[in-house]
Structure 1
Amino acid sequence: MSPRDQGLWRIFRLPLLIGVVSLIGLVGALLGDGLWDGLGAALLAGGLALATAAWARQRSGTRKT
């Protein structure tokens, strides 16, 4: 399936999700203390996990449609 066959939302939904999760994690960790530090670290790690999973899926050639 070529990029022309995919809609704009299908192309950018995962990068957008990673960006939003990372931004919430950064703001929470910078502005809050205690629980917010842990939550921010978890969200940043979640963004990294999403990016790694997407990269691994792209490298293996299997994509969800």
Structure 2
Amino acid sequence: MSQTPFFKMFVYVTACYAVYLAFEVVQFWMAGQLLFAAVWAVFVVGLASTIGRAFKTRQEVRR
């Protein structure tokens, strides 16, 4: 995978968001709203896989 500035920025933003999400999940856990946290996690995973697929296809097109 090429280390383009866009990719580095994407990784940085993803890492920051993951930390933020971890804090949110802990808060949800404390509040007892695990169902909502689970729905959120499924949504985020779906979004990440969609972005990953789009990124992969874009790299294949570039080749």
TM-score with structure 2 length normalisation?
A: 0.54
Q: Which residue of 1 aligns with 2:31?
A: 32
Contact 1:29 1:40 in 2 (8 A): yes
TM-score with structure 1 length normalisation?
A: 0.53
Per-residue CA distance 1:19-55 (angstroms, 9 max, x = gap): 123x123x1443222xx22221122112212221221
Q: Give the length in aligned residue pairs.
A: 55
Task: Extract unaligned runs of 5+ from structure 1.
Answer: none
Higher helix share: 2
Distance 1:53 1:15 in 2: 17
Q: Pairwise mapping of residues 1-65 of structure 1 onto structure 2 (< 5 A)?
A: 3-4=3-4, 6=5, 8-17=8-17, 19=18, 20-21=20-21, 23=22, 24-25=24-25, 27-33=26-32, 36-61=33-58
Runs ≥4 residues deviating over 4 A: none
Alpha carbons of 1:37 and 1:11: their partners in 2 closer, same or farther (altered >3 Å)?
Answer: closer
Higher relative contact order (CA 8 A, sep 6+): 1
Structural RMSD (CA)? 2.6
